[in-house]
């Protein structure tokens, strides 16, 4: 009998400021409602905000886990995981960004493979830098979600990434346009024409949350907010398609 392994979904972007981490947290909230045991790995190693957004006290993080693994081996991986609620756990990014350079990509590969046997879903929030750690993360992903805006540089970078994907014959990705973070009003058709690729889903412009600071201060999941309901419905549809 095959052992069940977690689905690994990586949420990324091709530049900063697209609402990627907020989207990751929203997806975790939806998965909680589905009663799927989920861990968020904050692989935005230099400037991760997941633990802080959930008001979690960072006692251990990815760096301490990898460092202990390199020197002593890991007795219990649960010792490095922060618990938010019954269904959502977090593995935090390093508290000190100077430690990032000491994290080897081969241990990230081992980490993801170990966590696959403990969860239903692994959400990985990562940055837009194409380095060895992100490449290992992508290789371990069942699906990659690109959160983009209508910003011209964002679209140019996304077009370059799509060209790389086509060259490698990779198809396990979804393009999510975040209109709430878009400054320029460009239609879905125009963006799809420019990218030469269909924009799969759009987070509506009115899903922008004015009291985001209060939500973060209280460590809440954004999907609990009424103003975010339209965006939540989009993300639910996207998740159902990806997971099924």
217 pLDDT more than 70: no
7-243: CATH topology is Rossmann fold (3.40.50)
Euclidean distance between the first and the last CA atom of the chain, given in angstroms as a whole number = 21
H helices of the chain, in order, are: 20-33, 50-53, 62-71, 105-115, 132-139, 152-167, 188-195, 212-217, 229-243
Looking at the whole model, is its pTM more than 0.85?
yes
Summarize pLDDT for 126-164 with one digit per residue, the tens: 999 889 999 999 999 999 999 999 999 999 999 999 998
When pLDDT is cut at 50, 70 and 90, the band that residue 209 belongs to is low
pLDDT at 73: 73
Summarize pLDDT for 177-199 with one digit per residue, the tens: 999 887 777 888 899 999 999 99
User: What CA–CA distance (Å, rounded) separates 80 from 17?
Assistant: 28
Summarize pLDDT for 1-56 with one digit per residue, the tens: 345 899 999 999 999 889 999 999 999 999 999 999 999 999 999 989 999 999 99
């Amino acid at each position: 009998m095959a052992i069940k392994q977690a689905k690994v979904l990586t949420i990324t972007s091709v530049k900063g400021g697209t609402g990627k981490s907020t989207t990751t947290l929203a997806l975790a909230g939806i998965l909680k409602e589905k009663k799927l045991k989920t861990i968020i790995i904050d692989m935005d190693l230099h400037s991760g905000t997941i633990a802080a957004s959930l008001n979690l006290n960072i006692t251990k993080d990815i760096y301490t886990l990898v460092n202990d693994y390199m020197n002593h081996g890991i007795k219990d991986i649960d010792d490095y995981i922060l618990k938010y609620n019954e269904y959502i756990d977090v593995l935090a990014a390093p508290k000190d960004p100077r430690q990032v350079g000491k994290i080897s990509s081969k241990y990230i590969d081992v980490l993801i493979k170990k966590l696959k046997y403990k969860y239903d879903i692994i959400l990985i929030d990562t940055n837009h830098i194409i380095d060895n750690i992100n490449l290992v993360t992508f290789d371990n992903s069942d699906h990659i979600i690109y959160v983009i805006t209508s910003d011209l540089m964002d679209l140019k970078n996304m077009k370059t990434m799509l060209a790389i994907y086509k060259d490698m014959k990779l198809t396990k990705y979804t393009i999510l346009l975040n209109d709430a973070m878009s400054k320029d009003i460009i239609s879905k058709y125009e963006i799809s024409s420019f990218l030469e690729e269909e924009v799969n889903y759009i987070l509506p412009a009115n899903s922008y949350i004015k009291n985001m600071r209060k939500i973060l201060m209280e460590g809440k999941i954004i999907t609990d907010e009424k103003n975010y309901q339209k965006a939540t419905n989009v993300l639910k549809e996207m998740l159902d398609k990806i997971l099924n």
